[in-house]
A = this chain, B = another copy of it.
Amino acid sequence: MPIYTPPTRDMSFVLHEVLNAPQSDIPGYDMLDRDTTDAILEEGGKFAAEVFAPLNPVGDREGCRLENGIVRTPTGFKAAFDQLRDGGWTGLDCAEEYGGQGMPHLMGTAMGEIFAASNMALNMYHGLTHGAYSAIHAHGSDAQKRKWLPKMVSCEWTGTMNLTEPHAGTDLGLMRTKAEPQADGSYKITGTKIFISAGDHDMAENIIHLVLARIPGGPEGVKGISLFIVPKVLVNDDGTLGARNAVSVGNIEEKMGIHGNSTCVMNYDGATGYLLGEAHKGLRAMFTMMNEARLAVGVQGLAQAEAAYQNAAAYARERLQGRAITGPENPGGPADPIIVHPDVRRVLMDARSFIEGARALTFWAAELIDRAERTGDEAAEALVSLLIPVIKGVQTDRGFDTTVQAQQVFGGHGYIEEHGMSQFARDARIAMIYEGANGIQALDLVGRKLPAAGGKPIMAFFESVIGFIKENEADAALKAEFLDPLKAASKDLQAATGYFAQSGMKVPNNALAGAYDFMHLFGHVAIGLMWARMAKAARAALAAGTGDESFYETKLATGRYYMARQLPQTRSLLARIESGAEPVMALAAEAF
């Protein structure tokens, strides 16, 4: 069975030595003293590793089954979900007013990585609920919040998001599901939604669907879409459960992965729904929580990469094949462990240098979300909105690649389902698609986030890079190993930004054709910046002699690898971008 050890030491390093969370001026960050965060990560990590992780292959093998209209989850899922609920993990970063613990989103994000790495399919039942909670929390009336939120915070009721229809995926303007107003102020919802994760299951007494639909007579396109709360079971005014609503599962999909999560076709046949937020402004309401939701998916990419990496590293230390070219390192054994081979090291170093950099970037983004939400800092909001498509797109692409490379370390054994390496790759694959496919992230980045506010957010990002370099270049070793490569990569990103500003203005396709490469170029610079920040922290700890030297030396070596071997990718990406739309668009559609 695959192993998983929560990377709590590394998380603590980012929280306390890079972000210095408890010293932050963000309200509530004073809760995040090191003893508290360490205790939460250790306790939650223990639960995730001992309860969630062993069920990961079970969920993959058994999948969900639709029996007489009810979805049955895999063996053990219900008991584990009960434990998650009973342990209070579902409300970690929810409002205390509704039964949550009121912790910053940063803390929820760290725990989210651990749960997603342990069992992504199982954790999604909670993750979707959290998303629905956030939307109701942001847009619901007080009465709605009181009615729905407490049981969602506890996950006694779980939540879903219903956007996609068979003919309307990315293009939500084509949506047809309709919502007819009733005399009592409610609506009758009719239509079919597909790809509804956690759409039905046997682990909660009610499921609260958030459904996008059109109120007849409203504007066409995306401006005529409203958001509705549609419970599986109607809820009486006293909070007790009433009649079954006209919501049913049409089918569950056979998928490449996340078999333990039920992906449902949901049929609404005049189901009772309640308008959430303003009529016709449902898309905006649904997307208020976009940064949080997309960050969570970026975390999934990182989490699957971490779990796969840990298994590859363990296998590489144990599997005996061949000898080191520099002479036997296990002379008493029949062969050396394969970790002696540089090409195996390459895979492991590519993995960990990406993972640790991405984790730091993720935590920084979570901090920015907290800052924006808790202080109303618009610059933080703008900056994190710029970073989010990068994090979602890059971390899920490279997270998936990392699982594939980790699988490769196992040779033929990696292809056999028994070892679990295939599951990491198959599960990670979905994160590149849902919550806005990665091509859409790239478009969001280049088409909306770059030009936003006259380019202020991207300028702020560059300033944070250049500012960090300037502040720290007196440290010669830091400069040579981290700041100089970061500066070079940042110049590539600036050049690409300039190309879009000039050429993309005249020929919009020049920007769109380079959007995906720009997203990855941005990801390299952002992760490079985080490595520079981590290197500074590690060097400071070593200079202060605070102990744990090998941790900091390892951190620095991993960072050096990133700067030397991953960051140069920016050159090729810039070349691709600067070749413009011409080669991309040269063919007629019929030529394909």
Interface residues of A (CB under 8 A from B): 164, 167-171, 173-174, 194-195, 253-257, 313, 316-317, 320-322, 325-326, 334-335, 337, 339-349, 352, 400, 404, 407-408, 411-418, 422, 425-426, 429-430, 432-434, 437-439, 442-443, 508-509, 512-513, 515-516, 550, 554, 557-558, 560-561, 564-565, 568-572, 575-576, 579, 581, 583-587, 589, 591-592
Q: Which residues of B contact A583 (CB under 8 A)?
A: 349, 557, 560-561, 564-565
B325, A508: Cβ atoms closer than 8 Å: yes
- Give the one of A317, A565, A568 with max B CB within 10 A: A565
Neighbour of A592 across the interface among B174, B339, B584, B587, CB < 8 A: B339
Q: Which residues of B contact A591 (CB under 8 A)?
A: 550, 554, 557
| A166 CB, nearest partner CB in chain B, Å | 9
Neighbour of A572 across the interface among B352, B439, B560, B568, CB < 8 A: B568
A558, B571: Cβ atoms closer than 8 Å: no
Copies in the complex: 2
| A182 CB, nearest partner CB in chain B, Å | 29
A433, B411: Cβ atoms closer than 8 Å: yes
A565, B585: Cβ atoms closer than 8 Å: no
Alpha-carbon distance A357/B565, docked complex (angstroms): 27
Neighbour of A586 across the interface among B195, B509, B557, B581, CB < 8 A: B557
Q: Which residues of B contact A554 (CB under 8 A)?
A: 587, 591
B550, A439: Cβ atoms closer than 8 Å: no
B254, A169: Cβ atoms closer than 8 Å: no
A592, B352: Cβ atoms closer than 8 Å: yes
Q: Which residues of B contact A316 (CB under 8 A)?
A: 592
Alpha-carbon distance A509/B325, docked complex (angstroms): 8
Question: Given A415-B429, A554-B587, A581-B342, is A256 in contact with B422 using a C-beta cutoff of 8 Å?
Answer: yes
Q: Which residues of B contact A337 (CB under 8 A)?
A: 589
Alpha-carbon distance A344/B127, docked complex (angstroms): 30
Question: Majority SS of interface residues in chain A?
Answer: helix
| A345 CB, nearest partner CB in chain B, Å | 5
Q: List 14 A-B contacts (CB under 8 A).
A: A167-B334, A174-B334, A343-B443, A348-B592, A404-B429, A412-B434, A415-B430, A425-B429, A557-B591, A560-B586, A561-B584, A564-B579, A568-B571, A572-B572
| A5 CB, nearest partner CB in chain B, Å | 12
| A37 CB, nearest partner CB in chain B, Å | 24
Alpha-carbon distance A341/B446, docked complex (angstroms): 14
Neighbour of A439 across the interface among B400, B408, B425, B558, CB < 8 A: B408
Q: Which residues of B contact A550 (CB under 8 A)?
A: 591
Alpha-carbon distance A583/B301, docked complex (angstroms): 25
A254, B404: Cβ atoms closer than 8 Å: no
Alpha-carbon distance A18/B390, docked complex (angstroms): 42
| A128 CB, nearest partner CB in chain B, Å | 15
Alpha-carbon distance A325/B505, docked complex (angstroms): 12
* Sample of 12 further A-B pairs with CB below 8 A, known A346-B513, A565-B575: A169-B413, A194-B412, A195-B412, A256-B426, A317-B592, A326-B509, A342-B509, A408-B432, A408-B437, A411-B437, A425-B429, A554-B587
Q: Which residues of B contact A342 (CB under 8 A)?
A: 509, 512-513, 515, 581, 584-585
| A294 CB, nearest partner CB in chain B, Å | 16
Alpha-carbon distance A170/B412, docked complex (angstroms): 10
A576, B584: Cβ atoms closer than 8 Å: no
Alpha-carbon distance A195/B416, docked complex (angstroms): 9
A317, B589: Cβ atoms closer than 8 Å: yes
Neighbour of A254 across the interface among B168, B417, B434, B585, CB < 8 A: B417
B343, A512: Cβ atoms closer than 8 Å: yes
The 10 lowest CB-CB distance pairs between A and B, nearest first, are A568-B575, A171-B321, A313-B592, A256-B422, A557-B586, A342-B513, A342-B512, A564-B579, A561-B583, A343-B439
Alpha-carbon distance A349/B575, docked complex (angstroms): 16
B416, A254: Cβ atoms closer than 8 Å: yes
A571, B575: Cβ atoms closer than 8 Å: yes
- Give the one of A342, A349, A579 with max B CB within 10 A: A342
B255, A343: Cβ atoms closer than 8 Å: no
